[in-house]
Structure 1
Amino acid sequence: MSEDLSLIMDDADEHMKKAIQHLEVELVKIRAGRANPNMLDGIVVDYYGSPTPIGQVGNISVADARTLTIQPWEKNMLQPIERAIINSNIGLAPQNDGNIIRLFLPPLTEERRKELVKRVNAEGEHTKVAVRNIRRDAIEAIKKLQKDGLSEDAAKDAEKDMQLLTDKFTAQIDKHLEAKDKEIMAV
């Protein structure tokens, strides 16, 4: 029985870690006023008829704090990359000089910063809900084990451990959100 309990705890821990990793990926995509190549993740370019991630058709680099440059490996890819960026709706206008594409990030207004903070907090809330759902599923599995012969004390201890694990991951989520909020609100 204790082997089954540790299996449930390990599984819940693994799923909660994945939820945190997903949050980290989503937070990177939310721009905080500084240029970051990860902002272009998810943009696909039509590369000879097949949709290809933008990072696989050119070199993306940070020229300065507010400028991204994209150097395509093939010159004929300038137009498709430019179109893909415009169609992606990320709010940046590409500037094509015939060799590279530059993306200038405008400074964030106070209103836009507050919108971004709301978006960050919404992502955090989604992750907290995911962590609570993982906890719920684990507690249901523990109660099922209790019906199958696990002692009541062991079940209560396992539920307490599951709550401690949930609290630990919720605190991690709060730290991520606080750091991102600070980054966004810094002028």
Structure 2
Amino acid sequence: MRNKPQKGLKTVPGKSSLERTLLTEQLDHYRLQRHDFFNHWQVIKGYLQLGKADRALLYMQEGISGLEAEQDIGQIPQEIVGAILLGLVVELRKEGLWVEVQLDSALKKERFWQEFWQEEYGEVLYGYTKECVKAIFKRYKGLEEPVVEIKLGTGEALCSLSLLDDDKVVWKQSCCYKDSEQQFIAQ
């Protein structure tokens, strides 16, 4: 008999409260992704058993195209930022929203994060993404083709989220830093 997983990871030595929260969320996301993966596998297997290899291939291609945002974010070497943004993408995808990521190439380099990153930025970015999810969930229902665009850059805005409908901006907010301090700037 398996032990039920412990919620909260309260006793992880050497980890901040944010890191424990992110670990817990990542475990939940991986469980969901594992479940979804096996469901997709069953659909593909069913198509193949019915002799519909072309449908199986199309189904696989559609499934993989939705993972591009996660692949882009996975290139960020700063673990806290990567975990926060992966959590954001998974939350949005759970709602059925299409997510696109634009990532400045400098953010893929360890050197940028060593020079820029400060521990307290994690709490700010985490809070920002949670507030954005709430705002997006209030606004996307009823839109024809809702898309969430995440722009990650090295300029004034570290992270900018936009909710689009047919390429028209419905809502937008940025998490900016000025004079070495991050602060929210809603647009």
TM-score (norm 2): 0.30
Which has a greater percent of strand? Answer: 2
Q: Which has the larger radius of gyration?
A: 1
Q: Which has the higher contact order (CA 8 A, sep 6+)?
A: 1
Which has a greater percent of helix? Answer: 1
TM-score (norm 1): 0.30
